[in-house]
């Protein structure tokens, strides 16, 4: 029984990870047999994982098929409102509660990311790690759980705002400002810096979708 539960959890995590990194994108059809073969898991836990993902609105029905869901404009706007407030709160709490070691890790992340400018794919992965580190540094398990749900929904976006031309440089600058506020133990400044960061990312995404800015080469 324990092995079956572990396999079910693994199947869910594997599919979720594949959506998160863009192996499966909004509109892609997910087929039990193909997933089982790809991940080396039996079809029963795959089926259960798909049902769970559908319940969480990460998958939707297209006739009899399950496809990766997509976000319309209203859903996108609602998601960014929630994300900005929760991420800002995480930064505020990190400024209060993060251990010095956690703050140093955040600072090193910013410095390391400078070498990734011009590589949107790697920068996007680094960006997720940076935000996750702030969530953990808040030392509030309930907030971390809610942010996990928000970021799970972020995987339903077809591309990352970091793909916009010039966004890499500005992302690093914004991250630097967030960490500086956390280093200063200024909760209000950390909240504002992170909320502003999310606001800029939302604006860039809207411009990308509207074709007003182009993706980096």
* pTM for the predicted model, two decimal places: 0.81
CB 94 within 8 A of CB 102: yes
Assign 159 a pLDDT band (cuts: 50, 70, 90).
low
Please tell me which residue, 162 or 145, carries the higher pLDDT value. Answer: 145
pLDDT-derived band at 116 (thresholds 50, 70, 90) equals very high
Residue with tokens 């808040």: 138
| Residue 153 vs residue 133, higher pLDDT | 133
Rounded to whole angstroms, how far apart are CA atoms 84 and 178?
A: 13
For residues 20 and 9, give the distance between their C-alpha atoms in angstroms, rounded to a whole number. Answer: 16
- Residue 9 scores a pLDDT above 60: no
Q: At what angle do helices 167-183 and 73-97 cross, to 10 degrees?
A: 40
Q: In the chain, pLDDT over 70 holds for what percent of residues?
A: 92
Q: Which band of pLDDT confidence, cut at 50, 70 and 90, is reported for residue 171? A: very high
Quickly state the pLDDT bin for 5 (edges 50, 70, 90): low
pLDDT band at 124 (very low <50, low <70, confident <90, very high): confident
Indicate whether 72 pLDDT > 90.
no
Q: Over 80: is that where the pLDDT of 6 sits? A: no
pLDDT in tens, 176-196: 999 999 999 999 999 999 999
Rounded to the nearest angstrom, the gap between the alpha carbon of residue 67 and the centroid of all alpha carbons in its chain is 20
Task: Determine the pLDDT at residue 217.
Answer: 44
Please state, in angstroms and rounded to a whole number, the distance separating the CA atoms of residues 68 and 62. Answer: 10
Query: 195 vs 20, which has greater pLDDT?
Result: 195
What average pLDDT score do residues 80-106 get? 98
Q: Are 179 and 197 in contact (CB under 8 A)?
A: no
Please state, rounded to an integer, the average pLDDT across all residues of the chain.
Answer: 90
Residue 10: pLDDT over 80? yes
Residue 3: which pLDDT band, with cuts at 50, 70 and 90? low
- In this model, does residue 28 exceed pLDDT 90? yes
Going from the N-terminus, what domains does the chain have, and what CATH number goes with each? 2-68 (1.10.10.10), 73-210 (1.20.120.530)
pLDDT surpassing 70 at residue 213: no
């Amino acid at each position: 029984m324990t092995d079956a539960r572990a396999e079910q959890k693994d199947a869910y995590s594997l599919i979720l990870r594949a959506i998160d990194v863009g192996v499966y994108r909004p509109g892609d059809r997910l087929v039990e047999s193909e997933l089982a073969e790809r991940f080396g898991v039996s079809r029963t836990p795959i089926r259960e994982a798909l049902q769970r993902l559908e319940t969480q609105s990460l998958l939707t029905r297209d006739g009899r098929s399950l496809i990766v869901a997509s976000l319309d404009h209203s859903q996108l706007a609602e998601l960014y409102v929630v994300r900005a407030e929760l991420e800002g709160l995480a930064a505020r709490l990190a400024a209060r509660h993060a251990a010095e070691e956690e703050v140093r890790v955040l600072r090193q992340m910013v410095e390391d990311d400078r070498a990734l400018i011009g590589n949107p794919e790697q920068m996007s992965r680094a960006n997720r790690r940076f935000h996750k580190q702030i969530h953990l540094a808040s030392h509030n398990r309930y907030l971390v759980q809610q942010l996990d749900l928000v970021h799970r929904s972020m995987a339903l976006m077809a591309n990352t705002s970091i793909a916009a031309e010039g966004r890499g440089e500005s992302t690093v600058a914004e991250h630097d400002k967030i960490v500086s506020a956390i280093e200063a133990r200024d909760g209000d400044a950390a909240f504002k810096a992170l909320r502003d960061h999310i606001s800029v990312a939302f604006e860039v995404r809207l411009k990308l979708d509207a074709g007003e800015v182009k993706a980096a080469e």
